[in-house]
Amino acid sequence: MSLLKTLCLLLLTCHLIDGRKTREGRVGKVSPEERVVLKVKEPHVSSAVFRLFLGGEDTCTLDPLQLHTLTSCGFNSSNPLIIITHGWSVDGMMESWILRLARALKSSRVDTNVVITDWLSLAHQHYPRAVKSTRTVGKDIAHLLQTLQEEYRFPVRKAHLIGYSLGAHISGFAGSYLGGSEKIGRITGLDPAGPLFEGISATDRLSPDDAEFVDAIHTFTRERLGFSVGIKQAVAHYDFYPNGGDFQPGCNLQNLYDHLSEHGLLGFEQTVKCAHERSVHLFIDSLLNKDKQSMAYRCTDNSAFVKGICLDCRKNRCNTLGYDIKKVRTGRSKKLYLQTGSRMPFKLFHYQFRIQFINQMEMDDPSITISLTGTKEDSGDLTIPINEKVSGNTTFTFLITLDKDLGDLMLLKFYWESSAVWRNMWNQLQTIFPWGKQMEKPQLTLGKISVKAGETQERTSFCAMENDGQHVEESQEKVFVRCKENTTKKTQKRL
């Protein structure tokens, strides 16, 4: 695949102009009242090919009109069903992540039927044409499920549809076309496509109504030329926005060398589509690294999240990203945010810091460094981003993420330096006034200090180790220890 074609894959500039000029053949879903009328009828000739994953790279083709193929391929109607559906294709080739996801599902859930939807003949078209075909492929999946329901008494609530990009909306259409009162058990949208779907009615895209439970992972919603590759708006019961959902660590052009080293010339393609496809690899990560499940937290937006004010798990305000999500149906879509690393395993541990400053003198942008010591690990030096004036009685809250679990927090070290402007002013004062050299060094007076671990929901308060109060002079490292009240509460909790 050429770099130019790959760029078109994400930016879609080659094809969306045509798609914006006309909306004929508008993609739409059926309302609940129309389901009985539009229930898929026999005989239905499928435009998609369904392949049962057997292991490794082996698959077996299923034909809903030839029921013996289900038996000969080894389909087990007693086991759950997962259907993987890919998105738009530039080169007409099946992408490598599909088999990787299938293998991860099989290794994690051995007694599961894993089926791959192959709609490459329709996906390998201009983007607007591929969009129009999503309704057709959705009918194909609905027909397959209906056949299993009627011929094998397979309950569709045991079906889990996983769709990437356009495949996410296809999965939604399948749910809306399926006749009867019983809904598909779960639909997972992996960075559902944005162009021609952003801002339209819930009946014309993936929505929470399409299954008993719908979750979505948004990883590339950054706008380019007026549109984004992934959809920005919430489309599920739980919508996850890793790293804000607009871009992903490790997917910048600076990482091109790493991608070339790992993938050869295909590294160009990997760099361009990296953020969009990250949704897939985050889901695979949740299957392969059971002991490192990524936790996300409900928040109004990412700017509020990075300030560290949204690490609350009460009343289902947090959830696990990926396969083992806690399935809670909600009346409104919940947006959840988290930070991740650039490589698998992607999990990061979230810590909310709250520091109260009690200061007589106004000070701009002090540079603060903190280090934490826990029962398991030491954080090392952490630079705290305070880009505001410190004056009076002010409490700052901010988020720190680490790739390791520190355990129970026991000790905190605090170090600070004033900004260059403030330090120059101080030096001038000492030069101008003869008693300047006798003046005390600038100091910050700290009030309450606390750290909350998002993953455990435990909050730890820190007190000065020595009995000299909470004053910290510039360039002085001060040690704070776990307050006695924390130790007492933890002991009582264990008892």
Q: Which residue ranges are tagged as binding site for Ca(2+)?
A: 205, 210
**Which residues pair with residue 187 across a beta bridge?**
161, 214
CB distance 444 to 366 below 8 Å: yes
Q: Among the residues of 22-119, which ranges form H helices?
A: 68-73, 96-108
Neighbours of 36 (CB within 10 A): 10
Q: Show the tokens assigned to 471.
A: 């004053």
Neighbours of 335 (CB within 10 A): 22
Neighbours of 25 (CB within 10 A): 12
SS3 461: strand
Of 264, 162, 266, 276, residue with least CA distance to 220: 276
DSSP H or E stretch at residue 29 = none
SS3 88: coil
> Using omega within 30 degrees of 0 as the cis cutoff, is the peptide bond preceding 434 cis?
no
Q: Show the tokens assigned to 377.
A: 């690990």
> Using omega within 30 degrees of 0 as the cis cutoff, is the peptide bond preceding 43 cis?
yes
- Active site residues per annotation: 165, 191, 276
CB distance 239 to 335 below 8 Å: yes
Q: What angle do CA 129, 49, 117 make, to 5 degrees?
A: 75
Q: Show the tokens assigned to 7.
A: 């760029």
Pairing of strands 367-374, 382-384: antiparallel
CB distance 138 to 130 below 8 Å: no
- Rounded to the nearest 10 degrees, how much is the dihedral formed by the CA atoms of 223, 228, 229, 231? 130
